[in-house]
Amino acid sequence: MALVTTAEVCDTNPQLIVSGELRALQPIFQIYGRRQIFSGPVVTLKAYEDNVLIREFLEEKGDGRVLVVDGGGSLRCAILGGNPVVRAQNNGWAGIVVNGCIRDVDEINGCDIGVRALASHPMKANRKGVGEKHVPITVGGTRISDGEWLYADTDGILISRTEASV
């Protein structure tokens, strides 16, 4: 599969931008992991300062999907660390986008997976298992639904209702 850049997707699909079927997330995310360009169908999760459901998802087979976590933009603790990212890499996830913080940055940067997050933070999250799976979320100023497509590279992150063509 050839890697598609976000700029190419935007340039070849102006009608999808006008219709709202193709949206860009606000440029608020830091780039982590060795895979700077990644894409795939979205799996959504809402989890505020709790990492139990994130860990559960990443233990499943990823099949090239991208986990998008609405962590409420919290900068008070990390909801994703190195061990679950290693598991995600080994289970075939294409990437993880976190509207919140991560930790174990050096370990994550050694993984062949794409990770985007607001920042890093040394404190770990709660483990209560609170959150909602497969629900519409708002991340980076954009509404994201389960099953939509995410495209990420060094220029930014796009969400498309369907798999984009270039």
Sequence ranges of the binding site: 81-84, 103-104
CB 102 within 8 A of CB 74: no
| Binding-site annotation, residues for substrate | 81-84, 103
Sequence letter at residue 75: L
Distance CA 121, CA 81 (A): 10
Residue among 163, 153, 166 at smallest CA distance from 12: 166
How far is it, in rounded angstroms, from Cα 124 to Cα 108?
Answer: 15
Q: What is the largest CA-CA distance in the chain?
A: 44
Contact criterion met (CB below 8 Å) for 157 and 26 = no
Task: Please give the span between the terminal C-alpha atoms of the chain, in angstroms, as a whole number.
Answer: 13
Phi, psi for 61 (deg, rounded to 5) = -65, 130
Annotated binding residues for Mg(2+), written as ranges, equal 104
Candidates 78, 80, 116; CA nearest to 97 is 116
